[in-house]
Structure 1
Amino acid sequence: MENRPNVNVAAIGPEEVPVIDLSGDIDERIVEEVGNACKEWGFFQVINHGVPLHLLEAMKETSKEFFDQPMDEKKAAKRDEVNPVGYHDGEHTKNVRDWKEVYDFLIDDSTLIPASPDPDCQELRTITNPWPENPSQFRVVCQEYAREMEKLAFKLMEIICLSLGLPGGRLKGYFEEQTSFLRINHYPPCPFSDLTLGCGRHKDFDFLTVLAQDDVGGLEVKRNGKWVPVKPDPTALIINVGDICQVCF
Structure 2
Amino acid sequence: MRPRLPPNVPLSLLANSLSSPLPCTLAHLMVSQERQEPALPLPSNSSSAKRAAASMDASSPAPPLLLRAPTPSPSIDLPAAAGKAAAVFDLRREPKIPAPFLWPHEEARPTSAAELEVPVVDVGVLRNGDRAGLRRAAAQVASACATHGFFQVCGHGVDAALGRAALDGASDFFRLPLADKQRARRVPGTVSGYTSAHADRFASKLPWKETLSFGFHDGAASPVVVDYFTGTLGQDFEPMGRVYQRYCEKMKELSLTIMELLELSLGVERGYYREFFEDSRSIMRCNYYPPCPEPERTLGTGPHCDPTALTILLQDDVGGLEVLVDGEWRPVRPVPGAMVINIGDTFMIMDINIGPLHLRKYTANYFHLWTWDDGRGR
Specify the TM-score bucket, using the shorter chain as the normaliser: 0.7 to 0.9
- 1:129-148 residue pairs with structure 2 within 5 A? 129=228, 131-133=232-234, 135-148=237-250
| Aligned partner (choices 154, 177, 180) of residue 73 of structure 1 | 180
Q: Determine if contact 2:213/2:286 at 8 Å carries over to the other structure.
A: yes
Q: Determine if contact 1:85/1:129 at 8 Å carries over to the other structure.
A: no
**1:104 equivalenced with 2:213 (yes/no):** yes
**1:62 equivalenced with 2:109 (yes/no):** no
Q: Determine if contact 1:146/1:182 at 8 Å carries over to the other structure.
A: yes
Listed one character per residue, the Cα deviations across residues 132-169 of structure 1 (whole Å, up to 9, x for unaligned) are 33555210111100010111111111111221111221
- 1:1-249 residue pairs with structure 2 within 5 A? 1-7=1-7, 8=47, 9-10=56-57, 13=114, 15-25=116-126, 27-81=134-188, 83-91=190-198, 96-108=205-217, 129=228, 131-133=232-234, 135-249=237-351
Using a 3 Å threshold, how does the CA distance of structure 1 residues 150 and 99 change in structure 2: closer, same or farther?
A: same
Listed one character per residue, the Cα deviations across residues 199-243 of structure 1 (whole Å, up to 9, x for unaligned) are 011000000010111232111111122211111233111101000
Measured in 2, the distance between the counterparts of 1:197 and 1:73 equals 26
**Alpha-carbon RMSD:** 2.5
Listed one character per residue, the Cα deviations across residues 166-216 of structure 1 (whole Å, up to 9, x for unaligned) are 122112343244321111110111224522000011000000010111232
Using a 3 Å threshold, how does the CA distance of structure 1 residues 241 and 216 change in structure 2: closer, same or farther?
A: same
Using a 3 Å threshold, how does the CA distance of structure 1 residues 168 and 109 change in structure 2: closer, same or farther?
A: closer
Identical amino acids, percent of aligned pairs: 37
Unaligned runs of 5+ in 2: 8-46, 48-55, 59-112, 128-133, 221-226, 352-378
Measured in 2, the distance between the counterparts of 1:17 and 1:228 equals 11
Measured in 1, the distance between the counterparts of 2:244 and 2:175 equals 17
Using a 3 Å threshold, how does the CA distance of structure 1 residues 95 and 43 change in structure 2: closer, same or farther?
A: farther
Secondary structure of the residue aligned to 1:171 is helix
Secondary structure of the residue aligned to 2:125 is coil
Q: Determine if contact 1:109/1:129 at 8 Å carries over to the other structure.
A: no
The structure with more radius of gyration: 2
Q: Determine if contact 2:141/2:265 at 8 Å carries over to the other structure.
A: yes
Q: Determine if contact 2:115/2:331 at 8 Å carries over to the other structure.
A: no
Q: Which amino acid aligns with 1:5?
A: L
**Number of residues paired by the alignment?**
233
TM-fit CA distance, 1:110: 9.9
TM-score (norm 2): 0.57
Listed one character per residue, the Cα deviations across residues 77-101 of structure 1 (whole Å, up to 9, x for unaligned) are 1211364302111326897311111
Q: Determine if contact 2:5/2:300 at 8 Å carries over to the other structure.
A: yes
TM-score (norm 1): 0.84
Q: Determine if contact 1:5/1:218 at 8 Å carries over to the other structure.
A: yes
